[in-house]
Structure 1
Amino acid sequence: MRAHRRVATALRELGVETVFGLMGEGNMRPLIDFAGLGGSVVAATTEGAAVSMADGYARVGRRLGVASVTHGPGATNALTALTEAVRARTPLLLLTGDTPPREDHLQRFDLRGLAALAGAGYVRVGAAADAAADVARATRRAATESRPVLLDLPVPLQRLDVADGPPLRPPSPLRPGAPGEEELDRALGILAGARRPVILAGRGALDARDEIVALAHCVGAPLGTTLLGKGLFAGEPLDLGVIGTLASGRALETVQAADCLLVLGAGLNRYTSVDGALLEGRAVVQVDRDPARISAAAEVGLVADVRRTAASMREQLIAAGQEPATAHRGDLAALLAAEAAGPVASADGPDTLDPRTVMRWLDRVLPADRVVVTDTGRFVSAPWRLLSVRSPADFAHTCNFASIGLGLGTALGAAVAARRATVAVVGDGGGVMNLVELATAVRLGLPLLVVVCNDGAYGMEYRHLRAEDDDPSPARCVWPDFAAVARALGARAATVRTRADLEALDGRVAALGSDGAGPLLVDVRCDPDVDPDADPAEPAGPA
């Protein structure tokens, strides 16, 4: 067979079911072959969106994401989305192919250099006979290194004949390690002596929920998460929610009173640690399978599997007669429940809505098993705080590279993976960048709700100008009518300005994913002078 078909065959043998792509000379043959072999090719409108789709598919589907673009401008158009996926540590394969080796080829570009610039891995197929082995090597690297790998299949090589070798087998999952005895003993000594321990878990603890909850009951520890661990302990009475700059008042107070912080499968970046303030004055024990993620602030760092470590800790503490700590407030569960049920501060205008109002409404109306994806922008704290999910696997954001415009594509891939109600919360500036991809969602019939927080401005820049007592009007923008554009692309759409407008959408939003009606866009008109992070009683900025 031809080398391009051997690559497509190798992908199918390795268990790849879906490829997100945009066809060009450098990748059209493998894409056609992949579809012919029973795989699903989701055609994107832009190369960046194709990579974002694969990114969202991998994050929510918890499997390898695969995207394919052509060489030259196809690859450069995908650079921002590829960088986001690198920083999100997404296992992703980006299939492209180098141009014919001519100096006058208009689309020539250094693919190896592009991959290095983004921080992605790079595998070049150097000989047609090695095509299948190189596909396997690239996918294995993407999985084990938790990052995208660019697979370069040069165009001249694609048409060469190769022998049909034995079928490839999907790689076996890595067996996580057990904690070292000496480090485990030190960690247990700290936990056993803690009077007010708190457990902080991240997305790396996704498969260890039951073991962590059992350990928390054993030591008497409230449970909190990073943003990427959002929803992990939903339903637990002592669930503190997201810890760090997004924490509720009660959660922040509880962590500040702790004498021990057990960090499981979570990073301790500046947002989670509040620039290190939540780590000072308390013992930190951290467990992660990646040694690079162990913080210098950790008194004990265990490079080990979170699930096995949590189970081992509990077993040994019970065997030693450990009693739960009792120094936390006895009414903490009741206080947390009251805080969660309390009113949400918002500042709606006569014809505008505060994003906090909208997110609380969505949290009430959307199907409980929804997937939530956010773009980045000044609106994000509202969905991060107020729009809940049942599991961290149902949440993704595109803030790792802080680029607006990636949220819609990522949500499309997430919806393909989940095949259930998916909501994308985007700003107007970021939303308009890839609004055309709604046509892809329509074509696929995806159960997608796109919520545009439309303040008619580049919101962060508007806020910065106001904070510096400058005229913010240069950051104002005039957009096309989002609802009209969405309808032109085949989607359902509505514009909302008041709570009554929201309530009128209850039925359509509640039925998302069960009515088979496809995507719905809601254009929410917001006031750029309302800061969703501020108390409405306080002025948003200089008058």
Structure 2
Amino acid sequence: MCPCLLFFVLFIVALCLLISIKILRLTNLDILFRVRDGLRSGKPFITALFRVDTESQRHGGELVAEVLKAHGVRELFTLCGGHISPILVACEQIGIRVLDTRHEATAVFAADAAARLRQDIGVAAVTAGPGITNTVTALKNAQMAESPVLLLGGASPSLLKGRGALQDIDQQTLVRSLCKFSARVTCVRHIVPTIRNAIATAKSGTPGPVFVELPIDVLYPYKSVEREAGLSNAPKKGLVKTLLDAYIRTHIANTFSDAWQPEQSLLPLAVRVPRPTTAQIEQLATLLSTAERPLLLVGSQAMAPPVKAAELAQTIEALGVPAYLGGMARGLLGAHSAIQMRQERKTALREADLVILAGAVCDFRLSYGRVLSPKCKVVTINRNREQMLKNHGVFWHSAMAIQADVGSTLVQLHQRMASDSSAAAVDHHQHWDAWLNALRSRERDTDTRNGAKATERTADGRLNPLRLLRMLNEVLPDNTILVADGGDFVGTAAYTVQPRGPLQWLDPGAFGTLGCGAGFALGAKAVHPDCPVLILYGDGACGFSLMDIDSFVRHRLPVVALIGNDACWAQIARDQVPWFNSAVGCELSHANYDEVGTALGANGIRLEEPIDDAELRDRLRQALAQCQGRRRRNSAVAEEKDNAGGNNGTTDDNGGQSTVINALIGRTNFREGSISV
């Protein structure tokens, strides 16, 4: 070998050694001891230096499962892929239920629902490339709904990044604008701290989705990675092959260095929750005590922990301020609260002299703040400063803005108000009674008018959707969880179907996306298997996720899907037809969705005129009763194991069957004037 070439080789070896020392933060003695131990054990120099257990059958998926388990995760929603197989297998083995869906978006929507209902992190895992791109809509929805969702994504091997590997794309750039936190794990030893940090970030401040990318080489066992890299102990011919072999071995050794550190903590990190100051509570109490016509608008963010839903409901009832509930806050005060209003919100806002936006946002849902009277004092409470002051100074002005947790602020406000037993406080409560009575009177009048519309015959003679939904509301069990996925039909249901308790209404939120129905229902039924879960589907919206009826059947998680079938994208057609005299793109067909349900293993029901009220109630009641039972197993293959006598997983079999109700409804003018843009 010529001197120049020898010098070059020695230089490369020295450089690799220096890099190794920097990566591993080794001292001279560490190097000597590791090399000595490696030589004694017969291990290659590199694996000894990096302290790699080359014989271990453990894999990174086990660490993922262990850290999820330590954070209280009970379900993992997924659509399988080779990149993430170790995660799925390890989660099942450790007792985390793996629920696979027919679309990656459904998996993320399910994790979103689980996060909302558990008031904790929800987790989904999908494969690389198209698996990630299929989640974009659901991730954006979680971001705008402020749901703490952890998405675990597979990725191509680190050494093949950018070299044309299967499904290799720049996933970090794709999700960065959708997530509070995104990271790529490059070493097995980094799996646990990265996921711990991601979960804490998702739950801190304004909750939101986070993404952790896990390449194949950090998830599979060492021997598998070594084999796929084409390494062998045979002598290498030529300098280039020798150096390339050394580089690959060094890379893999670093990937698995100290992979199974026993001292790594799996426990959750502290979550940061912003709190109001004492001065802010005092100022808010003063504004409320001097108001004569106060209103409380409660939005989804109020349901975020640490305040539990039951405590928040008690607090709002005790405050006695007339309240409108929106988003996830629907149902917070039950179905019969004396202070909850549902109708004529716009009129009430124009008459109020104090409006407290408790997690409610001045976006399109409040006409960007234009519905607020300029004479009214507005207090806005929100963890997110941008949302708290959206359109502030343009269409509305605040008397006070509190960037803090909504639930904690209301609890402290009540404590401060309860400590004031003065005659002035009692006098103002009497003023509120008069205001409340006026709101109730107006609400009764609106309910009466809507009741009359429910008896009207539709132009085409099909079922009146108001009548159908009012009958549904009459037979709805008190523990039903309602999932809203649609436009016109769901908009009608929002006025007529009342959730009976906290965390019993799931809708997409501000993003207004369609396609969340099956995912939300799967997450809800997984969290609350003993509760009836009802999807309110528009016939347009059901096309996005109806195939996941198969998932409910396979996982023995029965739900009811009620499809309002008017053969139209009605919310769009309502404006498009009169404005442009064309229904192009808006017309659907009265498809046999009930037969789709039957083909997928569910019960199919067709509702159409003529049908009297008694029969309509009975058929709805029977469908809801069927989905209250459940058959639960730890995995989709448990039944085969039962038949073979080898299943050790839990099994309870209380019956239960999913039902698809195809309700052929007519078109009404009930929602004329509602927005679709």
Q: TM-score, normalised by structure 1?
A: 0.89
Structure 1 segment 296-375 matched on structure 2, within 5 A: 296=392, 297-304=397-404, 305-318=408-421, 321-325=424-428, 326-327=430-431, 328-329=434-435, 331-332=437-438, 335=441, 338-339=444-445, 342=448, 343=451, 345-346=453-454, 347-349=456-458, 351-375=461-485
Pick from 88, 92, 103: which aligns with 1:46? 103
Describe the superposition over 1:117-158 as per-residue Cα deviations: whole angstroms up to 9, x where unpaired: 434531211321111111111111111141111110111222
Q: Give the corresponding residue for 1:133.
A: 193
Question: Contact 2:472–2:617 (CA<8 Å) still a contact in 1?
Answer: no
Describe the superposition over 1:27-62 as per-residue Cα deviations: whole angstroms up to 9, x where unpaired: 111111111111100011111111111112212232
Q: Give the corresponding residue for 1:293.
A: 387
Residue 214 (structure 1) shift: 1.6
Structure 1: where are the runs of 5+ without partners?
242-247, 536-543
What is the one-letter code of the residue matched to 2:215? P
Q: Equivalent pairs: percent with the same residue?
A: 23
Describe the superposition over 1:146-187 as per-residue Cα deviations: whole angstroms up to 9, x where unpaired: 111111011122234411424511345545524241x33332
Instruction: Give the 3 Å change call, closer, same or farther, for CA 518–272 of structure 1 in structure 2.
Output: farther
Q: Give the corresponding residue for 1:106.
A: 166
Structure 1 segment 80-479 matched on structure 2, within 5 A: 80-100=137-157, 101-102=160-161, 103-119=163-179, 121-144=181-204, 145-159=206-220, 160=222, 161=256, 162-166=259-263, 167-172=265-270, 174=272, 177-181=275-279, 183-206=280-303, 207=309, 208-216=312-320, 221-234=321-334, 235-241=336-342, 248-249=343-344, 251-272=345-366, 275-295=369-389, 296=392, 297-304=397-404, 305-318=408-421, 321-325=424-428, 326-327=430-431, 328-329=434-435, 331-332=437-438, 335=441, 338-339=444-445, 342=448, 343=451, 345-346=453-454, 347-349=456-458, 351-419=461-529, 420-472=531-583, 474-478=585-589
Rounded to whole Å, the distance in 1 between the matches of 2:656 and 2:347 is 45
Structure 2: where are the runs of 5+ without partners?
1-57, 223-255, 304-308, 630-654
Q: Give the corresponding residue for 2:125.
A: 68
Task: Point out the more displaced range, 308-317 or 407-416.
Answer: 308-317
Q: Give the SS at the match of 2:365.
A: coil
Question: Contact 1:411–1:422 (CA<8 Å) still a contact in 2?
Answer: yes
Instruction: Give the 3 Å change call, closer, same or farther, for CA 205–314 of structure 1 in structure 2.
Output: farther
Residue 533 (str. 1) matches residue 671 (str. 2): yes
Q: Give the SS at the match of 2:425.
A: coil
Residue 461 (structure 1) shift: 3.4
Residue 17 (structure 1) shift: 1.1
Give the ranges of 4+ consecutive aligned residues of structure 1 lying more than 4 Å apart after TM superposition: 172-176
User: How many residues end up aligned between the 2 structures?
Assistant: 522
Q: Give the SS at the match of 1:530.
A: coil
Residue 522 (str. 1) matches residue 661 (str. 2): yes
What is the one-letter code of the residue matched to 2:616? L
Rounded to whole Å, the distance in 2 between the matches of 1:95 and 1:14 is 15
Rounded to whole Å, the distance in 2 between the matches of 1:330 and 1:315 is 20
Question: Contact 2:200–2:271 (CA<8 Å) still a contact in 1?
Answer: no
Residue 378 (structure 1) shift: 2.3
Q: Give the SS at the match of 2:554.
A: helix
Instruction: Give the 3 Å change call, closer, same or farther, for CA 27–330 of structure 1 in structure 2.
Output: closer
Task: Point out the more displaced range, 421-430 or 389-398.
Answer: 389-398
Instruction: Give the 3 Å change call, closer, same or farther, for CA 284–82 of structure 1 in structure 2.
Output: same
Q: Give the SS at the match of 1:393.
A: coil
Q: Give the SS at the match of 1:153.
A: strand
Question: Contact 2:602–2:657 (CA<8 Å) still a contact in 1?
Answer: yes
Residue 68 (structure 1) shift: 0.6
Rounded to whole Å, the distance in 2 between the matches of 1:467 and 1:495 is 31
What is the one-letter code of the residue matched to 1:520? T
Question: Contact 1:179–1:303 (CA<8 Å) still a contact in 2?
Answer: no
Q: Give the corresponding residue for 1:539.
A: none
Question: Contact 2:60–2:188 (CA<8 Å) still a contact in 1?
Answer: yes
Residue 386 (structure 1) shift: 1.1
Instruction: Give the 3 Å change call, closer, same or farther, for CA 178–118 of structure 1 in structure 2.
Output: closer
Rounded to whole Å, the distance in 2 between the matches of 1:429 and 1:85 is 22
Rounded to whole Å, the distance in 1 between the matches of 2:388 and 2:510 is 19
Task: Point out the more displaced range, 507-516 or 396-405.
Answer: 507-516
Instruction: Give the 3 Å change call, closer, same or farther, for CA 402–264 of structure 1 in structure 2.
Output: closer
Higher helix share: 2
Question: Contact 2:112–2:147 (CA<8 Å) still a contact in 1?
Answer: yes
What is the one-letter code of the residue matched to 1:530? T
What is the one-letter code of the residue matched to 1:190? L
Residue 284 (structure 1) shift: 1.1
Q: Give the SS at the match of 1:384.
A: helix
Q: TM-score, normalised by structure 2?
A: 0.72
Task: Point out the more displaced range, 110-119 or 88-97.
Answer: 110-119
Q: Give the corresponding residue for 2:134.
A: 77
Question: Contact 2:574–2:672 (CA<8 Å) still a contact in 1?
Answer: no
Rounded to whole Å, the distance in 2 between the matches of 1:421 and 1:198 is 33
Instruction: Give the 3 Å change call, closer, same or farther, for CA 486–107 of structure 1 in structure 2.
Output: same
Residue 512 (structure 1) shift: 4.3
Residue 115 (structure 1) shift: 0.8
Task: Point out the more displaced range, 396-405 or 47-56.
Answer: 396-405
Question: Contact 2:351–2:373 (CA<8 Å) still a contact in 1?
Answer: no
Task: Point out the more displaced range, 384-393 or 472-481.
Answer: 472-481
Q: Give the corresponding residue for 1:244.
A: none
What is the one-letter code of the residue matched to 1:394? Q
Describe the superposition over 1:221-253 as per-residue Cα deviations: whole angstroms up to 9, x where unpaired: 322223432122333223213xxxxxx23x544
Rounded to whole Å, the distance in 2 between the matches of 1:475 and 1:289 is 39
Rounded to whole Å, the distance in 2 between the matches of 1:344 and 1:129 is 66
Residue 505 (str. 1) matches residue 619 (str. 2): yes
Give the alignment's Cα RMSD to 1 decimal: 2.5
